Amino acid sequence: MSKELENKVALITGGTTGIGRDTAVLFAKEGARVVFSGRREVEGNETLNLVRAEGGDGLFVKSDASKSVEVESLVQKAVEKYGRLDVAFNNAGVEGKWVPLIEQTEENWDQVHGINLKGVWLSMKYEIRQMLKQGGGGAVVNMSSVAGLIGAAGAGVYVASKHGVLGLTKSAAIEYAPHGIRVNAVCPAVIETPMAERAFGEPAVAKRMLSLHPLGRFGKPMEVAKAVLWLCSDKSSFTTGQYIGIDGGLLIGPNPDA
């Protein structure tokens, strides 16, 4: 049986833990050569070992998605190592501080938007530039959130960044469709990751959040990774400018039994 990403070169930002890590491992299992980035070297090497355990070939690059020079260098290193770039998952993100809007600081706005929104823009800028240099063709997936589709009290800065990701995704999809480059996004609800543990780890908060998911549980990182794989594979060849809600039903309404 052929693998979904056989002989493809994939780039993943935020690949050191959680969804990014599981996506790197899945991509390797499906035949991709995986270049992934993150700001933490120890966790990056752990992910690299997992990629190799699947028989995959990979490269970890310590990189900050909010810095233009580092993102450009990341793409260059991928091309230097493997000769091209075929698919990308722009996953790097932070939750920032969740407090009422009038209590937010410019520092928090700049940090959250620098990584969640500017980071996605910078990543696409250099990834798509490389794909065009190769003659076009390719697939890009951006990490948004259910927070990119609805509001959330206390999380306005984060919500704004994730709404922005969807706007960038749609615009890039229109611009580069003539070149055969597809751009889509995923919108997870609460997934069992270190970020979710920080945001919703308190028992009372976790219970309230769980009640918003009709399926009655939180998602697993690999469930998001599989959606990203589909969007990066030829199986989604007629899909661009779209988002997939991986949300346990959150967007359709709360759990009636909660």
Q: Which residues are catalytic?
A: 144, 158, 162
Give the single-character DSSP code of 218: P
Report strand pairing: 87-90 vs 138-143.
parallel
Q: Are residues 60 and 45 in contact, defined by beta-carbon separation less than 8 angstroms?
A: yes
Phi-psi map region of 83: left, alpha, beta (phi>0 left; psi -120 to 50 alpha): left
> From the centroid of its chain, how far is CA 137?
20
Whole-angstrom Cα distance, residue 76 to residue 74?
5
Buried b / exposed e along 97-118 (16+ C-beta atoms within 10 A):
bbeeeeebeeebbebbbbbbbb
What are the φ/ψ torsions at residue 99 (nearest 5 degrees)?
Answer: -145, 165
- Assign 51 to helix, strand or coil: helix
Measuring CA to CA, how many Å separate 201 from each of 67, 197, 204, 208? 30, 4, 9, 11
